């Protein structure tokens, strides 16, 4: 396997793992009271992989799924996200 093919394979694997685990991490983190630092770290990593807009939407949906509708609403209002 050439180094280019190896790098392409590695990048694809990292991307698959990020997609597979990102949602679960959001949901686990938003259920904790003391998770502000954890949420920030997950958000920072997610932004690097998925971009800021996608990461904000992911966070909004994770808050809704956790039953934290007020936090989701506040994030939409503060960030200026468009409601779908």
Give the pLDDT of residue 31.
Answer: 64
The answer to whether the beta carbons of residues 39 and 30 sit under 8 Å apart is: yes
Q: Is the pLDDT of residue 1 over 60?
A: no
Give the predicted TM-score (pTM) of the model: 0.63
Each residue of 27-84: pLDDT tens digit? 667 666 657 777 888 788 888 888 888 888 888 888 888 888 998 899 888 887 765 5
Q: How many CA atoms lie within 13 A of 27 on its CB side?
A: 8
Of 73 and 17, the one with more pLDDT: 73
Q: Domain residue spans in the chain?
A: 23-84
């Amino acid at each position: 396997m050439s180094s280019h093919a190896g790098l392409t394979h590695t990048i694809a694997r990292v991307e698959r793992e990020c997609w597979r685990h990102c949602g679960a991490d959001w949901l686990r983190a938003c259920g904790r009271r003391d998770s502000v630092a954890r949420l920030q770290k997950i958000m920072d990593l997610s932004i690097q992989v998925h971009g800021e807009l996608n990461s904000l939407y992911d966070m909004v949906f994770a808050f809704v799924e956790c039953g934290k509708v007020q936090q989701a609403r506040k994030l939409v209002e503060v960030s200026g996200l468009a409601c779908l």
